[in-house]
Chain A
Amino acid sequence: MHKLELVILFSLSLLLSFSCKKKEVFSKIEILGHGGNGLEIVNALYHDNSYNSIELALLTDGCDGVELDVRLSLDGTLWLYHDNELDDGTNGEGCIGSSSDAYLSTLHYSTMAKESLIRLNDIPKNYLENKKVYIDGRSSISCADSTADLSVYLARVLEFQDACAPSTEVIVETRNDQWEDAFALAGFITIKYITAFDQYDDVALNLPSVDIIVVTNDVISKENISQIHADGREVIIFGMRSAKSTREAYRKGPDGILADNLRTAIIEKY
C-alpha cells in the first residue's frame, strides 16, 4: 500500500511539473474567434455563428474579436450563417438569400442545444466595444444561382457599423471582386483572401490598395509572412484546430488568427 501511495504521489508531481513550464509569448497577435467561439470543433459547447457562441467568445478574456459569416435574407436583413444551404446544418431548407426573415426566425441548428439562427444586429453592441468584428461577406445564393444585392448588403453593414461604439472596428472580407471594390469605396479596409502564396505576387503587382491578406495556415510560411509585412500589409491566418498547429501559426508571426478553437488559441498565446 505504501508503495502504491508513493507511485500516486510521484505521478501527481510528475503531472504538475509537466504543466508548469514557461511558454513562448505571442502578445502582438490578435485572436478572433472563428464564427464566435470556434468552428466545427468537437468540444465546442455551441454552434458557430450562434448567439451563445459569439457572446461566450466576446466575454472571454483574451479574445480580441469575432469572425462572423454574414448573409443577406430575402427581406434585406443580415443573418449569420456559414454554409450555403440551410439543410446542411439546420431544420430548414433553401438558402438565407431565398428565405424571409419570418421563416429564418423559426429555424435552429441541428445540434443538442438547438441554437436559433440570429441576425447581425442581435449581437449586443456593448459586447463589441474595443473588439474587432471581422465580417465574412457571403455574396452567393447557391439555391437561386445568384448573388445577393450588393447595395442593400453594403447599406446594412454601414448601419451596423454606425450602431457600434467608436471603439469597435468593423472589417469586411468578401471573395467577390465587385463587392471588394464597393466596400473599399465605402471606406472599409481591403482584405484579400488567397488560397496559395503564389497568388500574392498578383496582389502585390495589381492590387496596391489591399491592406490585409487572409490565408490558411498550411499554405504560408514565416518567410512569406515577413515578405507581406515588408510590403506594409497585415496577415491573418486560419485553419488551425490543434494546439500544435496554433503554436506553429503563432511562430510564423501573423498579425491575427481566426481561431477555430478559441480556448486553445488563448492558452497558447498567454
Chain B
Amino acid sequence: MIAYLQSQDQVLTVRKRSVAKNIRASLCIARNAQSYRLSAFSILIFLFFLTTSNAQSVEVSAGFNRLDYQVGAGYSHRWGALFLTSKMEVAVTSTFAQKRFAPRLSVGASYLLLKKGQFEFGPELVYAYSRQRLTNNHKTAHHWNELNIGYRLQVGDKFKFVHSLNGGWINESFYTNSGNERVNYNNLGVYAQVGVSYTF
C-alpha cells in the first residue's frame, strides 16, 4: 500500500513538473511572439520615418553621464523643427580600458524652435538604456534607464556641430549577488555631449 502511494506521489510530481514545463514553454512562446510583434512594429516605424522625413543625418558624438564617458554614432530624421535621433554609444572606460563591452542605446526627440542662419536651438527629451556586466554572471548585470530633458543646439549646414545638455532621472537595477532579488536605485542623472553630424 505504502509503495503504491509512493508511486502515485511520484506520478503526481512528474505530472506537476510536466505542467510547469508546459506553462513555461507557453510563456516563452508568448514572449517570443511579443518580441516578434515588437520588432515588426519597430521596423514599421523605421520605414515610416525613412519615407516621411524630409531630412536624415548621421552623427558621431562624445559625452558623459554618471556612469562613464560615452562615444557613439546616431541616426536622425527630421520633419521641420522636429528632430528624432536614435543612437548607440559605448562606455569608454569599461569598453576600451577594461575590455568589457558596455553599450548605451538612446532615442531622443528635439524641437529646434530657434533658428537663426546656421544656428538651431531647442528643447530635447532623451530616453537611454545601458547595460554592464560586472562579474562573469550575466544574470547579475547592472541595467540603467535614463530619462533626461534639456537642450540641443546645432550649428552648420550639411556638416553640423552638435551639442546637448540634459538632466533628469537615472535608475540602476540589478539582480543581487544572491541572484534572486531585483533591486532598484533612483537618482538624478545628467548627460552632456558634443558631436558632429552630416545631413543628407
Contacts and interface: CB of A to CB of B under 8 A. Distances in A.
Interface of A: 1, 4, 8, 11-12, 15-16, 18-21, 23, 43, 45-46, 52, 55-56, 59-63, 112-113, 242-244, 263-264, 266-268, 270
A1 B183 CA distance: 44
By CB atoms of chain B within 10 A, which of A15, A16, A244, A268 has the most?
A: A15
Given A112-B187, A113-B187, A61 B137 contact: yes
30 contacts: A4-B198, A8-B58, A11-B73, A19-B100, A19-B101, A20-B99, A21-B99, A45-B66, A45-B185, A46-B185, A46-B187, A52-B185, A55-B183, A59-B176, A59-B183, A60-B140, A60-B142, A61-B177, A61-B179, A62-B134, A112-B188, A113-B188, A242-B97, A243-B97, A244-B97, A264-B93, A266-B135, A267-B132, A268-B98, A270-B136
A15 to B, nearest CB: 6
A22 to B, nearest CB: 8
B95 A243 contact: no
Contacts of B135: 61-62, 266, 270
A43 B67 contact: yes
Contacts of B99: 18-21, 23
Given A46-B187, A61-B135, A62-B134, A264 B98 contact: yes
List of 6 A-B pairs having minimum Cβ-Cβ separation, nearest first: A61-B140, A19-B101, A59-B176, A61-B177, A243-B97, A62-B135
A124 to B, nearest CB: 12
A195 to B, nearest CB: 29
If over half of A's interface residues share one DSSP class (helix, strand or loop), that class is named, otherwise mixed; here it is helix
Contacts of A243: 93, 97-98
Contacts of B183: 55-56, 59
B68 interface: yes
Contacts of A52: 185
A46 B188 CA distance: 10
Interface in B179-194: 179, 181, 183, 185, 187-188
A125 to B, nearest CB: 15
A200 B107 CA distance: 56
B90 to A, nearest CB: 6
A145 B88 CA distance: 55
A243 B88 CA distance: 23
B195 to A, nearest CB: 14
Contacts of B142: 60, 263
By CB atoms of chain A within 10 A, which of B98, B170, B183, B187 has the most?
A: B98
A244 B92 CA distance: 13
Nearest to B187: A45
B121 interface: no
Interface in B129-186: 132, 134-137, 140, 142, 170, 172, 174-177, 179, 181, 183, 185
Contacts of A55: 183
Contact of A266 (B97, B102, B134, B198): B134
A215 to B, nearest CB: 24
B96 interface: yes
Interface string B6-42: 0000000000000000000000000000000000000
